[in-house]
C-alpha cells in the first residue's frame, strides 16, 4: 500500500487530498495543528483505517523533527507540502506589516524546507519518491503583471525556489520534486467566487502526480499538467 503525507490536511485542498487518497486505497498521514478540532479530517480517519492524523505546527522545527522520528519506519511515496497562509496585512503597498509578512514567509517558505529536510529519507527510501510543494501562479515572477499581494507572491516564489533546489539536491536519491499550482480554488483562501472546486483541483493534482517522471523534477506544473514559467 503506497503512503502519502499531507501537511495542512484539516481543510481545503489538504482535506480533499486526504479524502481522495483514502478513496484510492492509500495509507494517508495527515498533519494539522489541532487534530481534535479538525472534525472533517477526523471523520475521514474514523471511516478509513488507512488514514491517521498527527498534530503538527509546521513552524515548530523541533515538532517537525520529532514527528519524523516517530514515523521513522514509514516510507512516504508522496510528500505534499500543502500547509500555507495568506495575510491581508502583508499584501498591499502602503499597508505592509512586517510581523504579518514574516509569518507568511515562515509558514509558506521556511516550514516546507524544514519539512522536506526532516522527511527526506522517508521519501528517498519509498517506491515512488515524490515531493510536491503547493505553489501558485501568483508566485510566477514572469507572470506578474498586476502587482500587489507582496507577501503571498514572495512566499510562493520562495517555495518554488526551494522545490527547484530539492530537485537538484535530491536527484541522486531518485526523488522527483515539483511545485504545483492547484488553480483558483474554492477554499477559505480562494473564496467562494473561485473558478474551481476542491474536488476538481485535487483530482487534477493526483492525475499529474501519478504521471510524474524523473524528467519532470524541478518544474512548476498546474493541476491540468501544464507548465508555468518561473
Domains in the chain: boundaries: 3-222
Does the domain at residues 3-222 carry the CATH identifier 3.40.50.720?
Answer: yes
Output the pLDDT for position 191: 63
Output the pLDDT for position 88: 87
CB 73: neighbour CB atoms within 10 A? 6
Contact 100, 151 (CB under 8 A): yes
Q: How confident is residue 190, by pLDDT bands cut at 50, 70 and 90?
A: low
Exposure letters 125-150 (e unless 16+ CB within 10 A, then b): ebebbbbbbbbbbbbbeeeeeeeebb
Alpha-carbon span 74 to 88, nearest angstrom: 38
Least confident of 15-24, 30-39, 119-128, 181-190: 181-190
The answer, yes or no, to whether residue 192 has pLDDT greater than 90, is no
Contact 92, 127 (CB under 8 A): no
Q: How confident is residue 218, by pLDDT bands cut at 50, 70 and 90?
A: very high
150-157: average pLDDT: 97
Alpha-carbon span 109 to 157, nearest angstrom: 9
The string of pLDDT tens digits covering residues 78-108 is: 999 999 999 988 999 999 999 999 999 999 9
Output the pLDDT for position 82: 97
- pLDDT above 90 covers what percent of the chain? 92
Query: What distance lies between CA 32 and its chain's CA centroid?
Result: 12
Contact 7, 80 (CB under 8 A): yes
142-161: average pLDDT: 97
Amino acid at each position: 500500500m503506497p503512503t502519502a503525507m499531507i501537511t495542512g490536511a484539516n481543510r481545503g485542498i489538504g482535506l480533499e487530498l486526504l479524502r481522495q487518497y483514502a478513496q484510492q486505497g492509500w495509507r494517508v498521514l495527515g498533519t494539522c495543528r489541532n487534530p481534535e478540532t479538525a472534525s472533517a479530517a477526523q471523520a475521514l480517519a474514523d471511516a478509513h483505517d488507512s488514514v491517521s492524523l498527527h498534530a503538527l505546527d509546521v513552524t515548530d522545527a523541533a515538532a517537525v523533527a520529532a514527528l519524523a522520528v516517530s514515523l521513522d519506519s514509514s516510507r512516504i511515496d508522496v510528500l505534499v507540502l500543502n500547509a500555507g497562509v495568506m495575510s491581508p496585512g502583508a499584501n498591499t503597498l502602503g499597508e505592509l506589516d512586517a510581523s504579518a509578512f514574516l509569518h507568511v514567509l515562515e509558514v509558506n517558505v521556511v516550514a516546507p524546507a524544514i519539512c522536506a529536510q526532516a522527511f527526506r529519507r522517508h521519501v528517498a527510501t519509498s517506491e515512488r519518491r515524490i515531493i510536491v510543494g503547493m505553489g501558485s501562479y501568483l508566485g510566477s515572477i514572469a507572470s506578474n503583471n498586476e502587482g500587489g499581494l507582496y507577501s503571498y507572491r514572495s512566499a510562493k516564489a520562495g517555495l518554488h525556489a526551494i522545490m527547484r533546489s530539492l530537485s537538484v539536491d535530491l536527484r541522486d536519491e531518485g526523488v522527483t520534486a515539483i511545485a504545483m499550482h492547484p488553480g483558483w480554488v474554492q477554499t477559505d483562501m480562494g473564496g467562494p467566487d473561485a473558478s474551481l472546486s476542491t474536488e476538481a483541483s485535487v483530482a487534477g493534482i493526483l492525475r499529474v502526480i501519478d504521471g510524474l517522471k524523473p524528467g519532470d523534477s524541478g518544474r512548476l506544473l498546474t493541476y491540468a499538467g501544464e507548465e508555468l514559467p518561473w
